[in-house]
Structure 1
Amino acid sequence: MTVSIARCARPFAAAAMSLALLATACSTTTDSADGDGDGAATVTLQLQWFKQGQFAGYLAAVDQGFYADHGLNVEIIDGGTDIVPQTVLAQGQADYAIAWVPKALASRESGAGITQVAQVFQRSGTLQVSFADENITGPAELRGKTVGNWGYGNEFELFAGMTEAGIDPSSDVTLVQQQFDMNGLLSGDIAAAQAMSYNEYAQLLETVDPATGELYTAEDFDTIDWNAEGVAMLQDAIWANTDRLDDEAYAEQTVKFIAASLQGWAFCRDNVEQCRDITVAAGSTLGASHQMWQVNEVNKLIWPSPDGVGVIDEAAWDRTVEIAKSTTNAEGSTVLTTDPNSEAYTNEYVLQALELLREDGLDVTGEAYVPVEVTLEEGGK
C-alpha cells in the first residue's frame, strides 16, 4: 500500500448517502457475541485516512494487547480519498469510526445514525501558515491576501476566524483551492496555507530553504492557531452506531473499546518513540522523523485532559455546533442548518471506560504531560 502525505479531511457532502442504503446495509463485522475462535469479539474501526501518527493510539492498543485484554479482536481499516468513515459506520460496515465532529454532524443531519461516544482530540490541530515576511500574525492580516484552504468543510475555522476579524471571505481575500500539500505556499502562489500541526506544517520544516541550503525553521513562518482565536472546532472523535447502542452487548463492547483505545493513547503519551515505531510497522510509508513529529504533536492535542481523556466538553461541543451553523463559505452554505438532537453525543460510555482505567491505576488526565523534542530530517526520513 502506498501512503501519501496524509489528510484527515473528508468531503462532508459525500456523507449525504441514501437513506435506503442506510436502511438496507448489512454489517460486515461480527457482533460482540461472536469472535475469532479464542473468545474475543471481532471489532472493526474505520479510520479517516491511512495509518499514521494521527491514529497511533489505536495502533498501539492493538500492538500492546490492550484490546485483547478487554476481549476484543480489533481490525483497523484504512481510510482514503473516497471514504467517509461516519457513512461506513452508519451503513453497518464498521463497528466504530474516527471522524471530525462537524463532518460527522453533517452526516447525521443527512440521516446517518451515529453517536459520538468519546472526544479524543481536545484541541484543534488546524493552522493557517505563511512566510514570516508576509506579516500575517492573525486573521485580520489575511485581508487582501491569497488564502489557501482544502474546502469540504475544513475551511470553517478559517472562515469563522476571518468573519470575527471583520473580513468577508467571499470578497476580502482571494480564496485558492489548496492541494493536500504545501507546494502552493512554497512556490509563492499562496500567501497563507492551511496545514495540520502534526502533518503539513512538518512538511515545511522538512524542506530545504533554497536561499540557505538548510532546512526551514519555525522562525521562517508565522502561524494562526484557531484555538488561540476562539474559533476551534472539535476534530478526531470516536463514533458508534446509534441504534446498536440500544443493544446491551454492543453498549458493553463500546465501553471496552473506548477504554482500550484511551489506554493506547496514554501509552503513546508516555512512549513516543515506541509509538512511532508501531506506526511505521503498521504500514505507513511516511518517514520515521515525520511520524515521530506526528505522534508528539497529536499528544499535544490530547494532553493534558483535565476532565479525563475522551470526555466530551459541552462548551467545546456547543462552540463547534454554533460555528457549523453560523459560518458560511464563499457559496453561502453552512455545515449544519439545525441543532443536533440529543442522540448526537453522550459521555455515558467514556465515563465508564475511564472508571475502568482508573481502577487499573492509569493516569487518564496527563496533568504532568510534557512533549518531547523532535528533530525532523529532510523529507521526514
Structure 2
Amino acid sequence: MTFRSGRRQLRLAANLAAATMLLSACGGMSEPTNETAVAAGKDCQSKTKVRVVLQWVAQAQFAGYYAAKEKGFYDKACLDVTIQEGGVNIVPQQVLSAGNAEFAVSHVTKTMVTREQGTDLVNIGQVSQRGAYLQVAWADSGIKSLADLKGKRVGSWGYGNELTLFAAMKGSGVDPKKDAKIIQQPFDMSLLLKREVDAAQAKTFNEYAQLLEAKNPKTGKLYQPSDFVAINLQDTGYQTLEDGIYARDGWLADKANQETAVKFLKATYQGWGYCRDDLAGCVDIVLKNGSALGKGHQTWMLNEVNKLIWPSKAGIGMMDKASWDQTIDIAVKAGVLKAKPSADAYRTDLTERADKELKAEGFDVTGDSFQPETVKITPGGQ
C-alpha cells in the first residue's frame, strides 16, 4: 500500500498546531483524545441510548460512525450508540419509519420515495456531498454511453439503488422496462466478470475497486482501468445525493430529541474528521468492527468516500440546496417520485448547531485543505 504519507503528516501536524494554539487561547477547547473523550463520557450522569441503522454491513463507507464510537466521541456526548448493520433484507429507511432506530443512513432519492408513501422521514445531515454511481462495461463491449445500453443486459442491485440508474437511462432515451433487459445483480461484480451482463452497477468506492483487484485469467495479472468503460452517472448530469442522516419528524418534535440529534451529529462529524485526517487509523477501526473485506480494499474505499465528503464548503453535513433540487428534479422527471417533497423534507438547523459547536472547539468543519491519498490496488483487496 502506498500513500502520500508526507502530505498526511503535514496535515496532521498543522491540525495539531492549530489545536494547541486554541488550547492556549481558550483554556482547553481542542478535539479530545480517545482517553479524554472516554473520561468525559464517564462524567455523564446518564447516557441517552440511540440506534443508527446503516445501509450495508460494516465497511469504510460508514467509517465515521465506527470512528465516533471507537474514539469516544459518542461517549463524550453522553450517548450510548448502537450501530446496526444493514443488508439485503434490511432497508434503513423502513427500519427508521417503524421506530426501530432513531437515525438511519440512506440516499435522498429512495428515502424521499419512502416519505412519499406516507412516512415522516427528514434529512438532518447530508454527509455525502457528491455521488458515486457508475455503470461499468467491458472496453470491448461497444458500450461507451448510457444510450448504448439499449438492447443490452443491464445489471442492477435493486432495493432502491436502481432509481438513479433508471432515471439516467430514461434521460438518455433508454426505457429500462422496454429497451433493456434488467438483471438482478448481487452486490459484487461477478456477473460482469463472467460476462453474464453487458454492464453492471458499481460505486467508485467499492465495486469498481473489486474489478481492479481481480486477476485476468488470460494474463495472470490484475485487470486495469483500460479493460473497462466506467460511465460516471454524475458526469452525465445525474448527480444525486447519497449517504445522509435521517430521523423522524415526529421524534424531532420533542426538544429533548432535538438536543440528542445535535449531539449525535456533532460526534459523528468528529468521527468523519478523524477518518479524513488519519486514513490508516480509521481503516484499522473498520477492520476491528468485523469487515468482510480486506485492508487494501477498505483503504481504497475510505479514500474514495472521503472524496465524497471533503471538502464540504458550507460545513460537514450541510445540505446544498442546488444539489437537493437537482436530485429531486431527476427523480420527478423520471417518474421515480410523483411530486417534489415538501420544504420540510430536510432541515439544516441541527447540523448548523453541531458545526458551530465544533468550530468553537477548533474542529475543521469544511476540510478545505483535504487532499486524497494515493492508494495502490492490492490483489483481492488484501
Which bracket does the TM-score occupy, shorter chain normalised? 0.7 to 0.9
1:320 CA displacement: 1.7
1:63 CA displacement: 0.8
Residue of 191, 194, 200 corresponding to 2:198: 191
| 2:313 paired residue number | 306
Is 1:173 paired with 2:176? no
- The aligned runs of 1:68-107 (5 Å cut-off) are 68-107=75-114
**1:36/1:73 contact within 8 Å kept:** no
Aligned partner of 1:179: which letter? P
- What is the TM-score when the length of structure 1 is the normalising length? 0.85
- Residue-pair matches, total: 341
1:36 CA displacement: 11
**1:87/1:112 contact within 8 Å kept:** no
- The aligned runs of 1:24-35 (5 Å cut-off) are none
**Residue segments in structure 1 that go unaligned for 5+ positions in a row:** 1-34, 328-333
- The aligned runs of 1:149-164 (5 Å cut-off) are 149-164=156-171
1:226 CA displacement: 1.2
Higher share in helix: 2
* Cα RMSD (Å): 1.8
Change (3 A) 1:92 1:153: closer
1:245 CA displacement: 1.2
| 1:23 paired residue number | none
**Residue segments in structure 2 that go unaligned for 5+ positions in a row:** 1-41
- The aligned runs of 1:259-270 (5 Å cut-off) are 259-270=266-277
| 1:320 paired residue number | 327
Q: Which moved more, 1:335-344 or 1:238-247?
A: 335-344
Aligned mates of 1:204, 1:38 — CA distance in 2: 50
1:43 CA displacement: 1.7
**1:135/1:222 contact within 8 Å kept:** no
| 1:39 paired residue number | 46
SS of residue in 2 equivalent to 1:215: coil
Aligned partner of 2:239: which letter? A
1:46 CA displacement: 1.1
Change (3 A) 1:288 1:105: same
1:189 CA displacement: 1.8
**2:216/2:223 contact within 8 Å kept:** yes
Aligned mates of 1:113, 1:168 — CA distance in 2: 31
Residue of 136, 149, 156 corresponding to 1:142: 149
Aligned mates of 1:367, 1:323 — CA distance in 2: 29
| 1:231 paired residue number | 238
SS of residue in 2 equivalent to 1:258: helix
1:347 CA displacement: 0.6
Q: Which moved more, 1:201-210 or 1:371-380?
A: 371-380
Q: Which moved more, 1:50-59 or 1:80-89?
A: 80-89
1:378 CA displacement: 1.9
SS of residue in 2 equivalent to 1:343: helix
